[in-house]
Structure 1
Amino acid sequence: MKPLEVINPSTVQEASQLAQSNGTPTNLIAGGTDLLDEIKEGVVRPDKLVNLVSLTEMQGINVKPSGLDIGAGTTLAELASHSDIIRDYAALAQAAESVATPQIRNVGTLGGNLCQRPRCWYYRSISFLCRKKGGTTCFAALGENKYHAILGGSDCVIVHPSDLAVALISLDASITLSSAASTRTMPVEKFFAGPDVNIMAENVLTPGEIVTSVSIPALPANSKSIYLKAKERQGMDFATSSVAVALTLAGDVVSSARVTIGGVAPIPWRATAAESVLVGKAVGNVDLKEVGEAAVHRAKALEHNGYKIRLTSGLASRAVETLLSQWR
């Protein structure tokens, strides 16, 4: 690994100006749990790292009557242990708690989790010039694809690795991106971009833009949420499949539903067909099998990952069943 210059900006504006680099390979770093892997693997070769850790304006959890404002530098451990998040936004606390190990959660950040790069072994290997690195071939499409996409893959079958994104989309969160010149806010769902939009990136960040915060609106009365994650190992592992569900009831009828699945597509995937199955149904009349089947509507298996369709369907059914049981 070549020597790196680490720069410690004092403001987001300064960090943004430094990140634009003017031709010098430059990366932003906070917890570094993903970026340092990429550097060691030779996937990225920056000359400079812009360190965001000391930017207090990007840290902290602000609880308001209108919801939550969370700095992008807030650690996963802080999210997982915050009493208001555990009580009112359970899916987010559960997603944060599911990430890696306590040591990684103590340094990994909200912004970093949302911006992490694919875990695809072809992308992570210097031996393969895949489409995400400027090549013309997705080696996983016809190669070893046990953990790859069953939805939205097209010419690149990566899956997005973020646990928090899945929960945040179901909680209808928004994300704020800041640069030296401007600030913009959008739904978290719109932050992610599939390979059909930009093969070289997984989000809509432009040069110099930084994820500075995430906001979650206060949930309506009689709302609950849940995040479930399936993985091969009980300990540290990425999701083979994950599901976040947020439901609101009017009486005993589902009046609002948001279902998002992870580990199965190049972006966190809104399962709108499953949402349609749920809305308008009385708690006792929800067909869990129908919900599960709708969650994987249009899923298409590759040679080695057909199990993901059954797994994701079952996980969606279980998430809804577990959530509905809290009202019974």
Structure 2
Amino acid sequence: MAKRKIGQFEINPIGLGCMGFSHGYGGRPDEATAIAALNHAIDIGYDFLDTAAAYGMGANERLVGKALRHRRDEFTLASKCALGATREGGRAIDGTPEGIALTLDQSLERLGVDHIDLYYLHRRDPNVPIEESIGALARGVEAGKIRSIGVSEISSDLLRRAHATHPIAAIQTEYSLWTRNPEIALLDTCRELGVTFVSFSPVGRGFLAGAVDATTTYEQGDMRGPMPRFNAPNLAANLALLDAFRAVAADQGCTIAQLAIAWVLARDPAIVTIPGTTNAAHMDENMGAQDVALSPARIAELDALINQTTVSGSRYTPAMQSMVSTEEFA
């Protein structure tokens, strides 16, 4: 599959979300295993890696830096600010210019690099005009600490305001067969403005890869634990969709994870996706999705099977939803 663009960078359309090595899910590998897996990712062609200051309160950036700073010229590096440790030592959203400047310097130190290729505003601070937060990132560009600016989990209107302040290279939000919110307005706005759309969780936090069943329990700290889609009564209804999904994958000659990723990539020739995994074999599997060619009829079949009307439960709890401003279906 041809490379796709984020700002000045040309990358493989399938990148690697690194969060799971330090945050969000259970079963994290030890450091040596994690470092080996990250290097394996580069070895097999991953050239766009995504981390954040919030993941493990800086631990994920330190891990990525330790594992890969010696291979810095082999991949495009993305990280994020404004969500995580505050200047006072707590955990919150801080989109103030002062908070962003501090987090940027801390990110550079943890990663062991002199610049970050794509630095996102991880969450919009509701107490700070987005123009002020983007302005702080623009000063990071002027200082040579950031190559390009991204935003995450914001609405189309906020994207327009951010882009009017400084060119936005990419917006990142959840997008998959079972999370269609970007189709309301955001994908169209990205096409209009020339902003690359980066899809995270293309396999539905493991659900569309078959990692969840009726017996699954979640370790403490696993973000899926409270999510409505992963709990009764919604879980049983959602699991009922997987038999047909598996049958489609078998007919297509691929795994269900590959089918889910291929669907995302087929939505638009400019979309980039960053499935997250800590498992080298799953990295191989996910990368194989770029060889799965879906016909228009197959895409229509998948669209009808799993969509916002057939999936049960919201993607976030009310508390988690309050931290994002993406459009929601009625």
Bigger relative contact order, structure 1 or 2 (CA pairs below 8 A, ≥6 apart): 2
* Fold match (TM-score > 0.5): no
> Quick check: which has more Rg, 1 or 2?
1
Task: Choose between structure 1 and 2: higher helix proportion.
Answer: 2
TM-score normalized by structure 1?
0.24
